[in-house]
Structure 1
Amino acid sequence: MQGLLERALANPWTTLDRVTDSSLHPGGRESTASLLDRAGVSAGTRVLDVGCGPGASVELARERGARAIGLDREPPARGGVRSDLSRLPFADGSVDVVLAECVMCLVLDQSLAFREARRVLAPGGRLALSEMVAVGDVPALPDPVSEAVCLSNAVAPETLIDRVERAGFAVGEPRNHREDLLAMRDEIAARVDYESLLGALGERGDRLLTAIEDLEAAVEAGEISYVSLVASAQ
């Protein structure tokens, strides 16, 4: 049992993928569809999904006729590009929409990543962004777990918007998706008995359980939330 837990903690992305029916961000498929609608993604739209994970959002964009490609450190086999956000391997002005779902908080230099997104966008292009945000301190979690819940470099909503604007975008009205975040929390809690599982890890498990409880309290209090926005390239 302990060996299984250690592997789950070492690769929480795979674990989260299985627990949440392949939805790696709050709101899942419905949230992505809404964001694509707001960004005007339709037949022929050139979409670059940065941090695409297993490629669910790429497939969703393709279902509506978009010419979509995914980019990730470990991209899916079909139509994926292996790279990171600090140096996108695409020409200037080569895409219409950059989709970034719950990925910018994993980037050390967010400002550079936003500038790269702006560079590859054609005139009138859009950045479709959804992200975890935090007000105040984030509970201490092991690095892989912090990455899996997209809190490694989470910032306040105002800071996020400022970085997007400074990269050359006009930001539309942000939307808060706290209810989606709470629903995802409840889904995971219903499927995973944290207390019993982490008890096998002794003191380390106790510390992790305390951190999870602190994280849940921060979500309840609105100190951690999930937002989305569409920004137009200027």
Structure 2
Amino acid sequence: MEELKRSVRKKYAELAVGRRRGEKESCCGESPGRVSDLARGSYEGERGEVPEELVGGSLGCGNPVALAELSPGEVVLDLGSGGGLDVLLSARRVLPGGRVYGLDMTDEMLDLARENARKAGVENAEFLEGEIERVPLPDASVDVVLSNCVINLSTDKPRAIAEAYRVLKPGGRLAVSDVVFLRNRDALPRPVREAVELWTGCISGALGRDEYASLLAEAGFEEVSVEVVSTYEPESIEGLDTQEMREALGRVPVASASVRATKPEAR
């Protein structure tokens, strides 16, 4: 697991450095049908709000800002904020009076996000260094937790979900775009489950759809929903080096999903 975490950190540090050089490589490739292409299409309504290169460089698999239905004055946390796209979009929606925190474990991504915030003229956003399994914020301190194709990268998903629950205020909302398997991932052969490239590419670390919902419920969340947005064809996924791998992902399909949940009101 530590090796996987180091690989994830290295991969996204390289992507951040590439972004600052003007490179367009994504976490999941550039061919039609890949996760990154779906994410870019999800932000059509937000083009013009932030620099175009930030929308075009999304590393996510959806638009959690749209899921969250943010209101002025709310405090928001984005888990794994990357280059800051969802933070900057959220920051505009919670004005006046609201604030947004972006959390990322990669120094290079944090530098890129802060630069993007300066370019966009956003002042009510703050980027924090840390891991989503250990959020550096107090209990019950935010109204909304967002995440975009990041929880699948965690090596301790129950803890990451528990941390999201901890920092939410009673009645707070979770709005996540993520990758899920449509069947139990245990049905995948070991080469698929353990391929580092597939993990850093947002595939092999994904939860099953039902498992995701169960973990949220076990953490205490209510009104849990995991809705499939788009299923990926095996041919569109990088890192499937053998026919066995491609056939395995044909039997256990992988998809993007919109994940919502609510922390119960205090009783």
Q: TM-score, normalised on structure 1?
A: 0.71
Structure 1 stretches of 4+ moved >4 Å: 17-21, 23-26, 31-34, 213-222
Match of 2:103, as an amino acid?
Answer: L
What does residue 16 of structure 1 align with? 26
Distance 1:141 1:37 in 2: 33
What does residue 241 of structure 2 align with? 210
Identity rate of aligned residues, in percent? 28
Q: Does 1:44 align with 2:73?
A: yes
What does residue 230 of structure 1 align with? 260
Q: 1:17 to 1:33 in 2, by over 3 A?
A: closer
Contact 1:33 1:60 in 2 (8 A): no
* 1:69-84 equivalent positions in 2, closer than 5 A: 69-74=101-106, 75-77=109-111, 78=114, 79-84=126-131
What does residue 160 of structure 1 align with? 212
Q: Which range moved further: 101-110 or 47-56? A: 101-110
Contact 1:164 1:171 in 2 (8 A): no
* 1:1-234 equivalent positions in 2, closer than 5 A: 11=11, 14=15, 15-16=25-26, 20=30, 25=36, 27-29=38-40, 30=42, 35-65=64-94, 67-74=99-106, 75-77=109-111, 78=114, 79-134=126-181, 135=183, 136-137=187-188, 139=192, 142-143=195-196, 145-179=197-231, 181=232, 210-211=241-242, 223-234=253-264
Q: Which has the higher contact order (CA 8 A, sep 6+)?
A: 1
Secondary structure, counterpart of 2:158 in structure 1: helix
Distance 1:100 1:18 in 2: 17
Secondary structure, counterpart of 2:214 in structure 1: helix
Q: TM-score, normalised on structure 2?
A: 0.63
Q: 1:214 to 1:54 in 2, by over 3 A?
A: farther
Cα drift, residue 164 of structure 1: 0.6
Distance 1:178 1:214 in 2: 23
Cα drift, residue 48 of structure 1: 0.6
Distance 1:11 1:63 in 2: 29
Q: Which range moved further: 71-80 or 97-106? A: 71-80
What does residue 20 of structure 2 align with? none
Cα drift, residue 35 of structure 1: 3.1
Q: Which range moved further: 115-124 or 215-224? A: 215-224
Distance 2:77 2:221 in 1: 17
Contact 1:111 1:163 in 2 (8 A): yes
Q: 1:42 to 1:178 in 2, by over 3 A?
A: same
Secondary structure, counterpart of 1:125 in structure 2: strand
Distance 1:18 1:155 in 2: 17
Contact 1:50 1:100 in 2 (8 A): yes
Cα drift, residue 56 of structure 1: 1.4
Contact 2:63 2:177 in 1 (8 A): no
